[in-house]
Structure formats: structure tokens, C-alpha cells
A and B are shown apart, each in its own frame.
Chain A
Amino acid sequence: MQGNTACAEGALAAGCRFFGGYPITPSTEIAEHMAAKLPKVGGVFIQMEDEIAGIASVIGASWTGARAMTATSGPGFSLMMENIGFAVMTETPCVLVNIQRGGPSTGQPTMSAQADMLQCRFGSHGDYSIIALSPASVQEMFELTVKAFNLAERFRVPAFLMADEIIGHMRERIEIPDSVPREERKPLTAGALPFRAGEDMIPGFPQFGKGYGVHVTGLTHDERGYPCATSPSLHEDLVKRLVAKVESARHDIADYRVANPDAEVVFITYGSPARTVEQVLHDNPDERIGHLRFRLVWPFSEKALEEFPDAKVFLVPEQNLGQMAREIERHTCIPVVPLPRFGGALHTPAELKKAVEAWR
């Protein structure tokens, strides 16, 4: 099965019943598969007039209680930024898939990249936090899409599947389970204020059409949901809660894989470069070469770095100029070496092997 198809199948298994989007290479197969399958399970597929409308329709659908998603790539992702901030501010669960291609601008529509990792974290205006997952196989396109839905529902945030074109268009054999884990968004207790959160910092969801009579606005709002855009303390408290509800859970929801924890030279990867590192480890059985692979990229769990107490250096091969390497640098005192390879060509095992030898 193709990676993009696996993503769509994962969404359907996770209970996604609304897809609003706009075709764009290299993500289009997801929309095509959803267009074919959603009507058969009582869901709705709608091709909107642009990506701005795509994410807008997804947010609208989510307020009716539907599990909703969109899929896109670089240029469309850029167009979605304002409404992503709206989803954050209104605490709307939704899933966005970005099959990354080469940028900036139209760039390389058919070639792989991982250059939107910081845009997904910081691209909309204002301070906020989101959840992002990065699959490294077709199986993970399925699994992590399911996971993205569950995390979006639990935390009431946009959750991103930040795949790259290689994983999206790769074909592999996968196993589809009979059922998948399913987390529901917590409903609002009758009579409670719609935007008052308890200790978990996540308010109950007042679904449209259920008689809550909730006003939902992108303006800074009080716990009733009413606009109140001029109080410094109210704004600060709201934004801090929106960030903290995600960031404080970063170790609980951390999802990564560790190989050779006693290693001195450690690769840190996510997405398709992980596969080249796995090849290096396969060809060179050497416990001194470690591998830390993030499946969940944002919020970044810096504790994962402690899995390698003897590490002397972190080597970070990415299909960009060193976006996640920059984040890793913030959390460690040992050298962090970006190994950029982009334009569509993957790192070769030989060049990664050479990078290891430079630190021996």
C-alpha cells in the first residue's frame, strides 16, 4: 500500500468522517482516497476552493462533533497558517497532514523535504503549541494518523502528521488491525463555563447543536467564551494555558525509538532519513553508533536525549538546513551536528558512515 493511502486508511479507522481540502502534489492521493471511501461510511468529502477554505471547513465540521482532517503540502500549508491559529485559539480538535515537498515557494512539487518542521510549530502568529508526528514507514503513516486523531481529540489542538514525500509515495506491505485505540473529546459538563479548564487545562467540548449555546471566537475570550481583548492578564492567562496544556504533557506523550543506548555517536532522526540510519546500523553492527528516532516531534521531549548518557555527539540528518537540530541544540551541552541533505536526494549510507567516522 502507498503511504498516502495508508494515511487515509488510518484516518478512516480512527473515525474521521469529514475531509475538506484542496488537491496538491504530493498529498493528493489522500484526498482521492477519502473522496472514494468517506461517502461509503456516512462521511463527508468536500473539495474546497483553496487550502484556506479546506482547513476552515474542517474546523467548522469539528464543532459539530465530527473527527475532521485535511491534507496538503508546502504552499497549501502556508495558506492554512491563519486558520491553524484560529483552531489553537478556539481549541478545535483537527488533524492536518503535510506531505512535505521542496520549498520555498512552488519549489519541488514532486521531491521530498522536511523543511516545514518549524513552520508547523511556529507558523501562525502569536505564541502557541501544537502536536506533530512524523512517520518513517507506510505502517507508521497508518498508525500515527490514528494517533494524531486521538491526541487532537484529547488535547483539543490541531495535530499534524508531518510526513515527507518519500514516505507518502513509498509502497510497503502493512498490517491493518481490526480495531484501533480511540480517545473521545471530553464533553462539557452541563452548566459549566465553556472555556473554564480544570487541572488538565483542557476544557470540556461544547458541541454545536447540543444546546450549549456557546460563542466561539478567535478573539481573546474569557471562560464564558465572550470576547475580552483588552485585558492583559486575561490574555496572558489564556495563552499560557493553551501552551501549557500541550507542553506540560510532552514527556507523557513522548514517542520515540532508541537503538544502542550506550553509544557515543548518536543519530537523531524523524521521517525518511531514519531509514538511511537504520541501513548504516544494519551494515555496521556497532554498539557505539546510536539512533534516536522521534515519532512524535512536537512538543519536543528533551528527556529523550537522556536515553544516551554516554553520547559525545548528536548527528542530525534532515531533509532541510537543520531545523530540528536547532531545537536539539537548546537541550544539550554536547555538539549537535546538522547533516542537511535536501533537494530530493536522500542521504546515502556511505555519507552517514563517513559522518560517524569523523567523530571517532
Chain B
Amino acid sequence: MTYSDWLRADRLPHIYCAGCGNGTVINCTLSAVDRMGWKKEETVFVSGIGCSSRAPGYIMTDSLHTTHGRALAFATGIKMANPDLHVIVFTGDGDLAAIGGNHFIHACRRNIDLTVVCMNNQIYGMTGGQGSPTTPYGALSTTTPYGSQEPAFDLCELASAAGANFVSRWTSFHVKELTRSIHEGLKIPGFSFIEALVQCPTNYGRRNRFRQVMDQVEYFKTHGILVQKAHRLRDEGLPIPADAILLGDLIRRDRPAMGVRR
């Protein structure tokens, strides 16, 4: 079986814009699920609202496309009521960190056995490019026409502080690494959080000096810095560039998890 066997052919073409990074993340996730050997009937995808959250609609398993920000609360109900189901949540930066922030920290705290894949495009893509909690300081959006004046959220720091068992960050450039980390997340009991930075050429890139799709992917490539390297630089007293994107598996631990069949 390959990841393409998990897609609903009768729902194609999808709604994503040309050059969108979300498809890459969906492929990586399905590859990881496939590698687990899970059956479709025991796997459930859950999402909220936004571009990322349309993903479950293209996957052949049972799936619940819920209300804005609330995917983790719905997923908690599914997993607690039937721990035999494998529950994967697709979400985005606005869905997870703005309207859904409270559910995010509490799902991490409960360490409930879910795998959450956040497609962070740093913008509200579906509604036309408004600023989100991860829009970088100074970046342009339709609601930050003079540059965002708010500091951005570090979602991985948040998940780590709130208690998730596994936290990892990659980008749409790092296909193999992202797939491997999602696979790790699926294996680990407890809350696994994988942030995938994705390019949004339509609503982020074109307003923020990424004129071509590949410009932003190239940025991910050149600005990504492995967590191991960041630690080495710190230990050696060398500076870590302010615009570096910290990549890799950031947290791996074994706190007691909820929603696991005992």
C-alpha cells in the first residue's frame, strides 16, 4: 500500500492553491501512517477550520471536520471513548494557536494519545491572508498592513511547556525528516506535536518578498538549523541567528498518557 491508497479519488481536485505546502504535509503524514501498518477502519482524522483542516476530507478513513479551533476537544472525546482508534489531528496556526489555544495547552497537559500535525503557514490562508499568532514580527498581512506589531508564538515551546510527550518541527522542504518525525509521533504514546512550516504563496509569500513558491521553500532550507547544532553553538558561546528556524525532535519524554488502552 502507498499513501495514494488512502486518498479519496472522487474528491479530487482538491481546493489547495498551486504551490501550497499543505499537500506535502498530507503526503508525509499518510506515508507515516502507512509505515505504521494501520488499517483505514481503525484510523480517524480530525480537524478544525482552515486550509489545513480540509485535509481529512481527502482521506478515505472516518474523519471529523469540526468547528474552528475545537478539533482537539472533539478528538479527545473520540480517543477517550474508544482508545482502540488511532486519532490524528490536522490543524493550522490560526486554528490551533488562536481560537484553539486553550484546547491545545490542555490536550498537551493531559498528554492524551493523539498525534497533531500543524501546518503552520503563518497566515489565515483560507480567509484571504489575515495575520495569525505565528505571523512573524513585521510581516505583512491584510490585517497587519504596516507590518505585524505582535511577537509570534513558538508553538513547539508551548507544547513542550504544556507537557506533550513528543514535539518536533520541520518544514515542507524537509520531506524525509518530517515523515520520520510524524512516524515517531504516531508510535509514541501520549500527545505528539509536529509543526510543519509550509509556504503559502497566495496569501503569505507574495506579500512578504517570496515572489516564487520556491523562494519560501528555499528560505526554510537556508534558515533551518538543527536543534543539535543550536545546542552546540550555545555550548560554544556562539550566536544563534535571530531568524533561525529550530528544527528536529525538540522533546521526547515518557509522561503518563491518557486515552491509552490499559
Contacts and interface: CB of A to CB of B under 8 A. Distances in A.
Nearest to A85: B67
B82 A57 contact: no
Contacts of B77: 18, 20, 46, 56-62, 68
Interface in A173-210: 206, 208-210
Interface in A46-70: 46, 48-50, 52-54, 56-66, 68
A209 B85 contact: yes
B136 to A, nearest CB: 28
B103 A83 contact: no
A20 B57 CA distance: 26
A219 interface: yes
B11 A226 contact: yes
A216 B66 CA distance: 8
B65 A61 contact: no
Nearest to A208: B62
A68 B219 CA distance: 48
B40 A60 contact: no
Contact of A215 (B42, B57, B70, B80): B57
Contacts of B62: 63, 206, 208-209, 212-216
Given A213-B62, A216-B63, A216-B64, A64 B41 contact: no
Contacts of B102: 49-50, 53
Contacts of B42: 209
A254 interface: no
B15 to A, nearest CB: 9
Interface string B89-116: 0000000000000110010000000000
Contacts, number: 127
Task: Give the interface SS of chain A, mostly helix, strand, loop or mixed.
Answer: mixed
Interface residues of B, number: 34
Nearest to B110: A46
Given A53-B73, A53-B106, A83-B67, A44 B80 contact: yes
A107 to B, nearest CB: 24
Nearest to A92: B64
Nearest to A43: B81
A119 interface: no
Tell me if B's interface is mostly helix, strand, loop or mixed: helix
Contacts of B70: 52-53, 56, 83
Nearest to B57: A215
A63 B73 contact: no
Nearest to A94: B77
Contacts of A53: 70, 73, 76, 102-103, 106
Interface residues of A, number: 42
Contacts of A213: 40-41, 60-62
Contacts of B103: 49, 53, 56
A64 B57 contact: no
B185 interface: no
B39 to A, nearest CB: 9
A287 interface: no
Interface in B34-86: 40-42, 44, 46, 54, 56-57, 60-67, 70, 73-82, 84-85
B119 to A, nearest CB: 18
A335 interface: no
B67 A60 contact: no
A66 B73 CA distance: 16
A226 B67 contact: no
A212 B70 CA distance: 24
A48 B70 CA distance: 12
Nearest to A48: B73
Given A209-B42, A217-B57, A57 B66 contact: no
Interface in B1-42: 8, 11, 40-42
Contacts of A50: 102
Contact of B41 (A57, A90, A210): A210
B106 A208 contact: no
A82 interface: yes
B57 A56 contact: no
14 contacts: A46-B76, A48-B76, A52-B73, A53-B70, A53-B73, A56-B70, A60-B64, A61-B78, A63-B62, A63-B78, A64-B78, A65-B81, A210-B41, A215-B57
Interface of B: 8, 11, 40-42, 44, 46, 54, 56-57, 60-67, 70, 73-82, 84-85, 102-103, 106
